[in-house]
Structure formats: C-alpha cells, structure tokens
Structure 1
Amino acid sequence: LMHGPYVCFSLQDVATMQFCANKLDKKDFFGKSDPFMVFYRSNEDGTFTICHKTEVVKNTLNPVWQAFSIPVRALCNGDYDRTIKVEVYDWDRDGSHDFIGEFTTSYRELARGQSQFNVYEVVNPKKKMKKKKYVNSGTVSDIFFLWNLSYPGRQDMIIPGWRVAQWQPSLSPSGNPSQSTSLHYMNPYQLNAYAMALKAVGEIIQDYDSDKMFPALGFGAKIPPDGHVSHEFPLNGNADNPYCSGIEGILEAYHKSLKTVQLYGPTNFAPVVNHVARYATTEQDGSQYFVLLIITDGVISDMAQTKEAIVNAAKLPMSIIIVGVGQAEFDAMVELDGDDIRISSRGKIAERDIVQFVPFRDYIDRTGNHVLSMARLAKDVLAEIPDQFISYMKGRGIKPNPAPPAYTPTGPTLQTQI
C-alpha cells in the first residue's frame, strides 16, 4: 500500500564570472602563496553555506583564476542584495590552509562586471586588530561577468500519489534547459542528471503503486493569470484531476508547466517535508509507510525549519531520500543526513535517523554505462529504507499481518501425463 511520489523541480539562471587578485600576502616560507577562493551564500538565520571553491593557482601573489559558472540561486537564492562572503586562502598540502583574508559583496554588485566597484580589499580581521598601519592583504577584482537570462527565478514541483511508501523526488535543475551547458539540458538522445535520478529511483518505488497514477503538485512559482506565488498548484494545470500517469507522465507535466509559470524563490524544504508528514500523521497504524525523495542541487533557504520538520517527521511512518545533483558543496545535505550526528532542533533529537543523502555525481559511470550506474544509485538511495521501516514498526509494536491462506484451486483439475 504505497503512498506514491512527490517530485520537486527547481530552475534558475546561471552566472559566469572570473576573478583575479593583486598583491596577496605571502604565506609560504620557500615560495609565494598558492591562493584559492571560497564563496559563501548567506542563509536566513545569519549563517553561511559554501557554494563554490575556485581552483588553486600555484606560487603567485597575483593569481588569475579560471572563469566558472554557478546557478544564481546558489549564490543568493534570488535575493540580489543578499550578502555573499568570499574568503581567500593559501593552499597547503596537509590541508591546514592559511587564511589570507576575506571580503563581502552581493550579486547585484558582481553583475556590474569589470569596474571600479568590483575591486575588493581582502582583509584579515586579526591582522587589522593587531597592526595599526595594516591596510589589507591584497585586492580581488571581478574581471568578467555574464548572466544567462533564460529563466527569471526558480520553481519547485512536487508530485504525490497513493499506495507502502509516499515518494517525493525533488529535482533542482540549473540553467536554461535549451543550452547544453545547463545541468537541466534536455538532450534528445540522453536524459539529464535530474531525469536520470528520477527514473532510477522512481521506477523502482512506483512498482509498489498499483495504478501508477500520481497526483502532481508544484511549489515555488508565480502562477498565471495574476502572478501570485504558489507553493501548491497542480503541475498539469488541472485542479480537479492533478494525477499523472507514471514517471513519464510526471516529466511531461513538468515540461509543459515551464511554459506557463514563472520560476520563483526561495528554496524551502520544510513545506515539502511537512506536506508529506501531514499524510503520514493520519496513517500511523502500520498500514502505510511514506518515502519522500528530494532531488536537489543543494541550495536550501530554511535550514532551521527543515531540521525541525525532520525531527517531527522522525516520529511518523516516513523516510526521506535526498539525491544531490551537480557540483555544488552539499554540506547542508550531509548535515541533514544525520549519519554522524543525529539531527536535532530546539534541543530535541530526532527519534530515528530517517534521512539518506547521496551525491549523484558519485554514480556517473565514465564509460557511459548509465544502466549500471543508475542501478547502483537506486540500490544505495534505497539501502536504508528497510531498516527505517522496521525500526518504526518495532518502535510502535506493530506486527505484520498473518500471511493469507494458500491458494487452492476450486475448479476441475487438469491432469497431464509425461
């Protein structure tokens, strides 16, 4: 008796930029410095999350880093004035990288490109406090900026259905799907990462759903005709019948919806978790178990609220699978996984570990054997579900129903002679 899938899709613009530095502090005794930069996105609670690291440029105080592309949402989550913090380090082989300094900026400032406004002083706060004549530890300049103007925001899509697991794939694609540089590129000859992950896991879980009909909902978009922001709208545009037929029906509805809605932030996981939890709350007798699958690029705006939602969900018959797509830092997703440290919120520790995270990039078979790599992905993302399912049932003292009686033919017996 599976309570079928929920799918979430996110899209956004991509920015390509390049930086150089001038007169950075010398940190190496026998050489100059081996500098690299780390970019951080600021979160709603005032904390920072890593969203990009540059490559290391060896033995120079005036590095020119390679241009890189990054989803706009990963940098600022749609808020162009949100603080972006950048730290500059001197790379060391043993991992004890030396801090050179830091500066802050915003997406709106970066978008100005090469100009006097985008020359930043790299400051080491400790050196500034100790040395009165300290000015800075060098400067960093934005020397190139390009904005892909395809989709002005983001969109998340959810897809429910009915039967022993409630499944939610949450896909967070990046960039213009019509361009091959996008992680969400719709190649007519090959599935993109999001579709591959959805099919690999979804086609296994959907086998527990008898009719393969899944109601599909979306969240995080401005909906016509008035452009109001909705976090729960029918993906196929039919409020009376939001059902999609199988995985292919889900993807078809998703593609069509891109033509009618305007993608919009922020990226909140808690509503999705709470949405599934509301169904699970009404089914705690062991007759149903819910599985939420989130496929994401790792951006999350409501970490504190999501932690609280997961802690509350741990008491319910549900599990959460997170598949990370793209090359972003997935520190937040690893934290939600809770394998090393059980997730907690407001002093409450989750009753069970119900989250499993895997990075999709670890399952890309470089030889091109997508069937094998997707089989490995499906195996690993589903690996913890049986134990999580059993832990809930045992914790509630719920025992399996007795097996049905063996089938006995009632009609005339057909006898054959060999």
Structure 2
Amino acid sequence: MCASLRFWVWVWCEGEDVCHCVCGGPASKPPPACPPPPVLWLPPRLWPCPFPLLPPNPSTRGELVLRPPPTPPHPGPINSSRAGAGAGASGWSSKGVRARARDPERGAPDREPSDMSDPEMGWVPEPPTMTLGASRVELRVSCHGLLDRDTLTKPHPCVLLKLYSDEQWVEVERTEVLRSCSSPVFSRVLALEYFFEEKQPLQFHVFDAEDGATSPRNDTFLGSTECTLGQIVSQTKVTKPLLLKNGKTAGKSTITIVAEEVSGTNDYVQLTFRAYKLDNKDLFSKSDPFMEIYKTNEDQSDQLVWRTEVVKNNLNPSWEPFRLSLHSLCSCDVHRPLKFLVYDYDSSGKHDFIGEFTSTFQEMQEGTANPGQEMQWDCINPKYRDKKKNYKSSGTVVLAQCTVEKVHTFLDYIMGGCQISFTVAIDFTASNGDPRSSQSLHCLSPRQPNHYLQALRAVGGICQDYDSDKRFPAFGFGARIPPNFEVSHDFAINFDPENPECEEISGVIASYRRCLPQIQLYGPTNVAPIINRVAEPAQREQSTGQATKYSVLLVLTDGVVSDMAETRTAIVRASRLPMSIIIVGVGNADFSDMRLLDGDDGPLRCPRGVPAARDIVQFVPFRDFKDAAPSALAKCVLAEVPRQVVEYYASQGISPGAPRPCTLATTPSPSP
C-alpha cells in the first residue's frame, strides 16, 4: 500500500530538533529532507501517533500540507485549474477538527512552503479548502434561587445567551420568559455550532422580564456567568454561581447548563394531547392544567423537553398540537423512557401536582398506528395511590396524534432550485438629518460609508449569492420625490416605477447615491406600504405551490415605526407567505418598541388579536455592530432566514425540487 503513496508525513517531537517520517512513499526511496516545523497540529487524543505533538503554532493552525517527494520535478507546466481541483478533491476529515479554508476574503494562508526550489514548487498541492464538520449542540438551562427584586413578587426570569465573536459579544439565543419563578427550568433549547479547534466564550445573562424588559438593565439584572462552550461540552453538565455586575455572587443563585450533541436525523414528531376528568386543585374554580414531558438521560436524570400551554379553568383540557425533533424528544432512541407530569398552574409559581405517567416513543407510535386510533394513560398521583385505599387515578391523558415527518433542510430547498428574492427598503425621513451635514445618517462622506451603506453591503452581499439574476428591487420611504415632491412610502430609488430592480448590490448603492440629492427627506416612518408591496409577488409565489422563490425584505430605518398598527397587520398577513423581514435600526434612537415585531417574546399579533403564523421578523440595531467586521452583522441578521424558509415550506407541505444537475466546466488542454 505504501508503495503507491505519493506524499510524505512528518511529525515533530517535543524536546527534539528533528522530525520523524511516519509514513510515505514510494517505499523504495528514502524520505526527503525534513520540512520546517510544524505543518500540522492535532490534539494527541485525536491522532493515532506514538509521538507527543507540539502545541499549536498560530501561523499554521488547522492547516494540513501534504508534501510529495521533491524529485523528480514535474517535466512541464502544470494546469493550475486542474491542480486546484485535485487538491480540493483529496480533502481529509477528522472528528472535531476544521481546516482553515483558503478564502479569498480572508487572504492566503499565513504560512506557505517557501523552502523549495521552483521545480519542486510544482509538486506542492494547495492546502485543503474544505471546512470540516461542525457539531450542533443543544444547551438546556435552569436556574435555582434567583433573587427577588421586591418582597411581594417573584421574578419573571429569562436567560440571554451571548457568544464572543469578531471581538465583541453578540446575542445568539434566549429562553422563553417564565412568570413568577425563582427556580426556573426553561424548555426552549439554545442551539449552537460547536467547533473543537475554536475557543467559544459564552455569557449567560439572567434578567427579570416582568416590566416588558428585553435586555438585562441595571434594574432588571439578576446575575450572569461566563464560560466556554468547550467547558460545557467536556463536562456535559455545568453548574455555576450567578454574579452581579460588581463581581459579587447574587446570593445563592446558580445556573445549570446541560449540553447535548444533535445527531444528524431530520425526523420531527407532531403530537396532540388532551385529558379528561383531571383532579380539581382549586377551591373556587377549576384547575388550570398544563403538562411537561421529560426524557430520561443515560445517567437516569430527567431532562425537560416540552411544556404545553396552560388551559384555564378546565378539567378536560385539549392542548395545542406541537412539533419537535425526534432528537429533542428521545435522543433518537425510541425505547428511551419518557415521563409526563400534569400540573395545575398557579400564578405564584407553586404549581399543584396532579399526576404522572410514563411511556416510550415506540409505544406511542404503536398505540396510534392506525387511522383514528388513540392511546390513553391513567394519570397517577403516587401520594394518593399510596394513601387512598380506593384510589384509581387523577384523570386520563389521551394521545390523539403521533406522526413522524421528514424535515428537509435549507440546503435541500436551495439545491432544489429555490431562489432568494432580496428587496431593499431605505428610510428617507427627516429624522436622519440633512444629508449635507456630517452628522446626518445619510451623509455621503468620502472617508467611509455611512451606516446605511455598511448594512446594505454586509447583508446584501450574502443574499445576492442565492439569486440567479442578481437583480434587486430597491425602494425608499418617507421622502418627497420629484417631480411633484409628494410624500411617498414605496418609491423606486432608481425612479423607474415600472422596473425598480438594480443590477447587483453595487447597483443598489449607485442608485442610492444618485437618489439622495434629488429628494427631500420628510416623514413619517411608515413601513406597512413597503411590506405590502413585497407581499404581492410572495402571494403569487404561494399560489404556485412550489418552492421556487422566497422573498427577503431588508428594511433600513433610523427610528420607531409610525404606523405600528398597520405594520403589525402587514407582518401577520406576510407570515402566511414565503417571506421574511429583516429590520436594521440605524442611529441611536430608542428601538425598544421595534423588538415587539421580532416575536422573540411571544407571537406577534395584529390589533384585532390574530397571531402571526410564524416568526418572520429579525430586528437588529446597527450600533451593536458598527465597530465589528461586516460579517458579524450579516451573520446575525441572516441567522434565522434558513429556519424561516424551511418552516414555511414544511407548513405548506411543499417539498424541495429535484436537485439541479451539476454543470461541469471544461478545462482546455495546455498547448503543446
């Protein structure tokens, strides 16, 4: 086997000035001279090698260079395109290790083989350009003994998770809000990509959301802790004290984080439960029942996977159907024990236990296998069973639906021909300031682009890769436009109402620069008209019943929306269409009302009370990213789009199209 090898592998040893050739070929020839140290670092436990390896060299971190024998040199010129293809095809993989790609935006690798003659350089393949696998990790969070902000009420806690990325702390996830609870167990999973070779610092901020707070201000802050994702993963379960902003412990408050790696399954489970004849725990009314589902871990501990809504004043509740991944429900083990607990909700947080039962996912599937078939369990309270002689049960819980569905990924839809149709809407209201002033948010300075241009380039530069024709409609709102200088809230910034599209993002930027001197900034900040305008082609796309075009609207605005009621109605209507909305807040205005549109604290509702079908809005204030790399803003605002695309088409029962055939580019033969 070694006789066929065309490369050499060396390992540098700690404390020595020489390297060892561990394999290579052809076997009939001695190995060439030792290369400069070191070309590869891997943790010893991942590399089956008898030699302890050196610590990582920052200049070669994650980079693998395979060097073939330097003799004989290649007899003639090398076709660079073919050589590059060969290097990419010969990639390697190792669990937990991700090689650095040769990305044109990042520049060439820091270290290049420079100790070889010109003929020998022809034998050095490009470093691998593939990114090796990241693992998806789910974090489940609980707290104990949170401080009370006052003596009369308990806090309404929420946990905000931040990741240190691009030299700043960025919010990536947050839990739901639990009312009146000092020892909350949150059901919402915090999901992260885990890379073995990267240090991923995390911060967990706990705050009281009682007064509608969306971030941990001084008066709502309950404590925080900091650790790395690697620490959590390596220990599986971490409990840390919560600290106040002065560094002191927040009483006896603690936070516990449990990590679990997500497997590759795409199966989801749809479950519907109801119950009847539950015990009444209230004196002057009926119980307010809700149910919690736990899975049993390998260490026999119980882990919360779902909590239903509360059904008020009802001993025969029917809970809303819900959907979760098979991994979340039972770690893809259909025989794993599941525990179901039913409680009577109490606003004080001291919920009354009604009863419990156990099952497995396999049992649930078998019990509902036939159409119309249901499965039921007696809800047992162990204390009543042990004390009451004639005790039978505290009610009955019925599983009315248990279906498994294959969920397609975002890439399935993209590779199946789905295009991302990107539309831009820019705020031209007077609150931005006179564009001729250096203090204006629309100031066109020759030194650096304004915040509108920075946000447009960062987000649009990524979106245009998913649009085949790379033509983007671009609109403005809140300005007086020629020739009559009447206020418009959805005018084409290229002043061509019949064709508002611009060629690539550079065309949008050029149209913005030409438009600005010709209009008068005015107001108010009405967003609903532009949402409704983008919803029209999305409505036509919906009628096709195919996954061919998904609309993304980027709204750049400097202030609070004036037509909030109309905007909420437009968003609720758009939530039923193949459409997502990204709002970037520019400037230093108070954007607290804008977070209402985001839907992170509960489903957005229109003024008539109709809820959004799904969460389609992502709001981000640009000031949080003005000193960060452009990729940080794009990563944040586009993070939810893949999930929103999949959720929409899955809810409509629309599968991806057949993967498009690859078109191979032909490489001309070198001239003789």
- Residue 181 (str. 1) matches residue 439 (str. 2): yes
8 Å CA contact retained: 1:172, 1:325: no
Q: Deviations over 1:351-401 (max 9, x none)?
A: 101111111111122xxxx5xx21011011000011111001111111112
- Identity between Structure 1 and Structure 2 (%): 51
In the TM superposition, what is the alpha-carbon distance from 1:239 to its structure 2 partner? 4.2
> Partner of 1:74 in structure 2?
none
- Residue 287 (str. 1) matches residue 511 (str. 2): no
Q: Distance in 1 between matches of 2:464 and 2:616?
A: 20
Equivalent of residue 463 in structure 2, options 202, 205, 220: 205
> Partner of 2:583 in structure 1?
322
Total equivalences in the alignment: 251
> Partner of 1:268 in structure 2?
526
In the TM superposition, what is the alpha-carbon distance from 1:182 to its structure 2 partner? 2.2
Q: Deviations over 1:247-294 (max 9, x none)?
A: 222222222223333233221111111111111011012211111111
Summarize the Cα distance change of 1:183–1:229 in structure 2 as closer, same or farther, 3 Å threshold.
closer
- Residue 165 (str. 1) matches residue 420 (str. 2): yes
- Residue 303 (str. 1) matches residue 558 (str. 2): no
Q: What is the aligned-residue RMSD (CA, Å)?
A: 2.9
Summarize the Cα distance change of 1:168–1:332 in structure 2 as closer, same or farther, 3 Å threshold.
farther
Q: Distance in 2 between matches of 1:229 and 1:414?
A: 61
Unaligned runs of 5+ in 1: 1-92, 97-162
> Partner of 2:219 in structure 1?
95
Q: Give the AA of the match of 1:391.
A: E
8 Å CA contact retained: 1:298, 1:332: no
Q: Give the AA of the match of 1:364.
A: K
Larger Rg: 2
Q: Deviations over 1:285-333 (max 9, x none)?
A: 2211111111111321110111111111111001111111111111121
Unaligned runs of 5+ in 2: 1-216, 221-417
In the TM superposition, what is the alpha-carbon distance from 1:414 to its structure 2 partner? 7.9
Q: Give the TM-score taking structure 2 as reference length.
A: 0.35
In the TM superposition, what is the alpha-carbon distance from 1:175 to its structure 2 partner? 1.2
Q: Distance in 2 between matches of 1:331 and 1:298?
A: 10
Q: Distance in 1 between matches of 2:598 and 2:503?
A: 31
> Partner of 1:333 in structure 2?
594
Aligned runs of 1:119-198 on 2, under 5 Å? 164-172=419-427, 174-198=432-456
- Residue 392 (str. 1) matches residue 654 (str. 2): no
> Partner of 2:637 in structure 1?
381
Q: Distance in 2 between matches of 1:182 and 1:414?
A: 56
Q: Deviations over 1:192-249 (max 9, x none)?
A: 1111011000111112223333343434333333333333433223345443222222
- Residue 257 (str. 1) matches residue 515 (str. 2): yes
- Secondary structure (helix, strand or coil) at the match of 1:165 reads strand
Q: Distance in 2 between matches of 1:408 and 1:394?
A: 32
> Partner of 1:362 in structure 2?
624
8 Å CA contact retained: 2:555, 2:581: yes
- Secondary structure (helix, strand or coil) at the match of 1:273 reads helix
- Secondary structure (helix, strand or coil) at the match of 1:258 reads helix
- Secondary structure (helix, strand or coil) at the match of 1:301 reads coil
8 Å CA contact retained: 2:494, 2:511: yes
State the structure with bigger RCO (CA 8 A, min sep 6), 1 or 2.
1
Q: Give the TM-score taking structure 1 as reference length.
A: 0.55
Q: Give the AA of the match of 2:422.
A: W
In the TM superposition, what is the alpha-carbon distance from 1:177 to its structure 2 partner? 2.4
8 Å CA contact retained: 1:267, 1:300: yes
Q: Distance in 2 between matches of 1:327 and 1:293?
A: 19
Q: Distance in 1 between matches of 2:489 and 2:218?
A: 46
> Partner of 2:284 in structure 1?
none
In the TM superposition, what is the alpha-carbon distance from 1:167 to its structure 2 partner? 2.3
Q: Distance in 2 between matches of 1:408 and 1:235?
A: 39
> Partner of 1:20 in structure 2?
none
Summarize the Cα distance change of 1:216–1:169 in structure 2 as closer, same or farther, 3 Å threshold.
closer
Q: Deviations over 1:52-72 (max 9, x none)?
A: xxxxxxxxxxxxxxxxxxxxx
Q: Give the AA of the match of 2:463.
A: I
Deviates more, 1:243-252 or 1:198-207: 243-252
Q: Distance in 1 between matches of 2:425 and 2:554?
A: 6
Q: Give the AA of the match of 2:471.
A: M
Q: Deviations over 1:132-184 (max 9, x none)?
A: xxxxxxxxxxxxxxxxxxxxxxxxxxxxxxx8223233333611223222232
Q: Distance in 2 between matches of 1:385 and 1:196?
A: 20
